[in-house]
Each structure stands twice: as C-alpha cells, then as structure tokens.
Structure 1
C-alpha cells in the first residue's frame, strides 16, 4: 500500500511538471506570435513612412 501511494505521488508530480512545461511553452509561443504580429505592423508603418 505504501509503495502504491509513493508511486502515485511521484506520478502526479511528473504530470504536474509536464503540464507546467507544456503550459510555459504554449504561452511562450503565444508571446512570440504576438511579438511577430507587432513587428509586422511596425514594419508596415515604417514602409508607409518611407514612401
């Protein structure tokens, strides 16, 4: 019984760690996408000023 409880606690710790890593990666990807979109908007503005 003690082994099962210990295994479960380890299992959930790894699951939580994986979820946190995936969540951080997902949020990082969203931030990069927003940054890229802002860069494109700024680039368009600069191009319009150069015309």
Structure 2
C-alpha cells in the first residue's frame, strides 16, 4: 500500500543572541579608567612639588 501523503518538515529558525545591552559596561569601564588615570596624575603632581 502506497503512502501518497507529503512529508512536512517544520524547521525552527534560531536567531543569534545578539547584543544584550552590555555596551554601557564597556563605556563605563573606559570612563572609570580615564578618571583613575586623571586623579593619579593629579596626585603625582601634588606629591612631586614641594
């Protein structure tokens, strides 16, 4: 007995994770590093001058 019904294959499309809103962490880390370097320079200048 032949089975003439078509075979249906459902494929689920999987999308990548993408960005999860972590860009602010990198921007904040850059800002914190710049502020640390700025205050380090201020501290070194104040301790170097008599």
Q: Structure 1: which 5+ runs fail to align?
A: none
Deviation string 1:15-35 (CA, Å, 9 cap, x unpaired) is 624x1xx22111000111111
Show the counterpart of 1:30.
Answer: 29
Q: 4+ residue runs of structure 1 moved beyond 2 angstroms?
A: none
Larger radius of gyration: 2
TM-score by length of 1: 0.54
More helix by share: 1
Q: Structure 2: which 5+ runs fail to align?
A: 1-11
TM-score by length of 2: 0.55
